[in-house]
Amino acid sequence: MSNEGKKNIFARFFGAIWRWIKRHKVLTVILVLLIALIIYVVNVVNKAKELLNNNSFDFATVETKDLTNSVSATGKIVGLDKKNAQAGITGVEFTEINVEVGDYVEAGQVIAILDSSDIQENIDIAKKQLNASEANNSIGVNGAARTLNNAEVNRDKDAEKADIAIGRSWDSYAEASGKLEDVEKKYNDAVNSRKNAENGVNAANNAYNTAQAEIGRLQGLDYNTEFSTKINEIKAVLADAETNDGDTIDTALQSAFESSTLDTFDASLFSAATFGVSDADKIASVDAVLAAMSQIQTDKTNNETRLAELQAGITQLANNVAVANSNLAQASAVEDTMKSSWEGAKSSANSLWNAYNDSVRSKDDIKRADDATVATAADSFNTTRNTASVSNLPSKQNIENLEEQLDKCTVTAPMSGTVTAVNFKKGDKYDGVTPIIVVEDESAYQVSAEIDEYDISKIEIGQKVQIRTNGTGDLELEGKVVSIAPHATALPASMGAAASSANVTYNILIDILTPNNDLKMDMTAKIVIITDSKEKCKCIPIDAFQEEEESGRFYVEIYDPTDPTKMSVTEDGKIEYEKLYVEKGMESDYYAEVISNELTEGTQVVIPSEYDNSLYDLTMEFN
């Protein structure tokens, strides 16, 4: 077929298609949109797969591990102890040096001797001068002591004499006081007798006056008037009963009642019932008045008997008053006599008491004068003794200093150990600064290290330490923290400004527990201090722990590719895994202990990524 024929075929084909499209415009638009949608969905799914396959999130497996936290540092090997031997004096020549580097010395062993001839000569001169001065001081102190002793003896004699005078005064006062007590007792007895007589007079007068008053009262009683009043009260009740209650009163009985007198009245003949009273209140009233009338008769009889008794005894009561007044007069006379005797005895006792007090005051005055004399003598003695005791202190101190210098001329080893440095030889002058020798204890080694201030709070006594040195290769030595400096390590002043800006460090010492003959002093040691550890615990990466914002509880998401039911998609297209609440235990740099009875070794958990696993968000990422 020619090229022209082929062109015609294509023209006819595309023309037919164009004509079909023009006839079916709506269908054509729908087909185009459907094809575009299919292409879009395929691209979104491919993009989601691409994001998932490019580690947008990860998984981790629950494992059983030993967790540890540690602090690393670099230190150096040191001996258990190191001390310098120094003499404490300067400018003196060495006459002997008895050790060499490498020698082993015992603590206290003589290792060097300095020239002490000049010091010994100065000590001898100073002691002779001190002895002469102390002899002179002794003479002065003894004289002052004798003066003080004499003053004390005189004071004691004066006190003895004063005590004798006071004793005599007291005896006289005591005798007078005894007499005063006897007279005072007799006087008090007389006073009491007079008071008793007065009470007797008062009692007799009261009895007589009381009897007279009772006689007058009994004689003035009017029983007839009271009796007539009671008759009138019953008459009134009877009249009221007859008028208002319609009672028929027994007029004969009423007449007999009204004609009764106090002497002829017989209560048993009359009652409200016999009068003919019917009202209960009036009956009670009439009977009460009749009872009162009977009581008036009884009172009259009793009072007449009492009056006769009082009239019969009134004469005797008058005689009693006369006798009581006579007794009072006699008691008053005795009281006056005893009062005069008591006042005389009291005056005598007071005078002797004043004499006793005068003797006491005299003793006090003498004592004060003697005490002043003794105090003056004591002050003089103390001043002399104190002056003597301090006047030679400079000389004694000078001798002590010289003897200390003499002792320092013999230099001993400060500790047992190996001599690692000898800095002087025989004939050299000691400068007082440079150590004569250095002794170190090489029986065992420690590691000395500096720990940064940010880590020092994690270090504790007794923590295990892993130690490696260049001299022991890859061999790991075991150690233990035995010392932590309470203060930061001082930086050299020569560092200047650098010292102030440097990190603060604290020195620690570590005992090396693994014996090793390859260790040497000053070797570099790399240490790892185990600050915390836990064996055989279930662990997952720290990033696998997720925390709920509201409750603050930790949880993990379980990933199980063999069980699709443990993964779901929400309405907004978000992928969700099974959630399991757990507790977080010990943490290390990367792993942390996960505490849960439901979580077993080998389980896979989700490590959340920086991408959201929402299909919608994946779609937006693609767009």
Confidence grade of residue 492 (pLDDT, cut at 50, 70, 90): low
**Side chain identity, residue 480:** K
Confidence grade of residue 10 (pLDDT, cut at 50, 70, 90): low
User: Nearest Cα to 503, choosing from 551, 465, 545, 455?
Assistant: 455
The percent of residues above 70 in pLDDT, for the chain, comes to 89
Task: Tell me what the mean pLDDT of segment 400-407 comes to.
Answer: 83
- Mark 321-359 as b/e (b = at least 16 C-beta within 10 Å): beebeebbeebeebbeebeebbeebbebbeebbeebeeb
What is the C-alpha to C-alpha distance for residues 530 and 610, in angstroms, rounded to an integer?
34
Task: Tell me what the mean pLDDT of segment 67-87 comes to.
Answer: 87
Task: Tell me what the mean pLDDT of segment 438-449 comes to.
Answer: 86
Query: Which conformational region is residue 44 in: left (phi greater than 0), alpha (psi within -120 to 50 degrees), or beta?
Result: alpha
User: Nearest Cα to 267, choosing from 281, 284, 287?
Assistant: 287
- The pLDDT value recorded for residue 583 is 93
What is the C-alpha to C-alpha distance for residues 407 and 87, in angstroms, rounded to an integer?
9
Q: Environment class of residue 551 by beta-carbon count within 10 Å: exposed (0-12), middle (13-18) or buried (19+)?
A: exposed
Task: Tell me what the mean pLDDT of segment 446-467 comes to.
Answer: 92
- Mark 454-472 as b/e (b = at least 16 C-beta within 10 Å): ebbeebeeebbbbbbbeeb
What is the C-alpha to C-alpha distance for residues 197 and 324, in angstroms, rounded to an integer?
7
- The pLDDT value recorded for residue 614 is 46
Q: Tokens 């005598």 label which residue?
A: 348
- The pLDDT value recorded for residue 576 is 82
Angle at 140 between CA 134 and CA 146, to 5 degrees: 130
Confidence grade of residue 22 (pLDDT, cut at 50, 70, 90): low
What is the C-alpha to C-alpha distance for residues 57 and 51, in angstroms, rounded to an integer?
9
CB 529 within 8 A of CB 481: yes
- The pLDDT value recorded for residue 500 is 52
User: Nearest Cα to 69, choosing from 352, 610, 460, 419?
Assistant: 460
Mean pLDDT of the chain: 83
Neighbours of 46 (CB within 10 A): 11
- The pLDDT value recorded for residue 541 is 93
Q: Considering just the CA atoms, what is the radius of gyration of the chain in Å?
A: 67
pTM: 0.41
CB 431 within 8 A of CB 90: yes
CB 340 within 8 A of CB 186: no
Read off the DSSP letter of residue 101: T
Angle at 576 between CA 570 and CA 580, to 5 degrees: 135
Contacts of 362-369 with C-beta under 8 Å, sequence gap 24+, read 362/162, 362/165, 363/159, 363/162, 363/163, 363/165, 363/166, 366/158, 366/159, 366/162, 367/155, 367/158, 367/159, 367/162
- The pLDDT value recorded for residue 254 is 86
Q: Tokens 């010994």 label which residue?
A: 120
List pLDDT tens digits, range 139-194: 888 888 988 899 889 889 888 888 998 898 899 888 888 888 888 898 899 889 88
What is the C-alpha to C-alpha distance for residues 287 and 274, in angstroms, rounded to an integer?
11
- Residue 2 reports pLDDT greater than 80: no
Tally the C-alpha atoms within 13 A of residue 273's C-alpha that lie toward its C-beta. Answer: 2
CB 330 within 8 A of CB 190: no
Query: How distant, in Å, are the alpha carbons of 166, 309, 342, 400 from that of 355?
Result: 9, 68, 20, 65
User: The dihedral of CA 610, 615, 617, 623: what is its sign?
Assistant: positive
Confidence grade of residue 620 (pLDDT, cut at 50, 70, 90): very low
What is the C-alpha to C-alpha distance for residues 396 and 373, in angstroms, rounded to an integer?
35
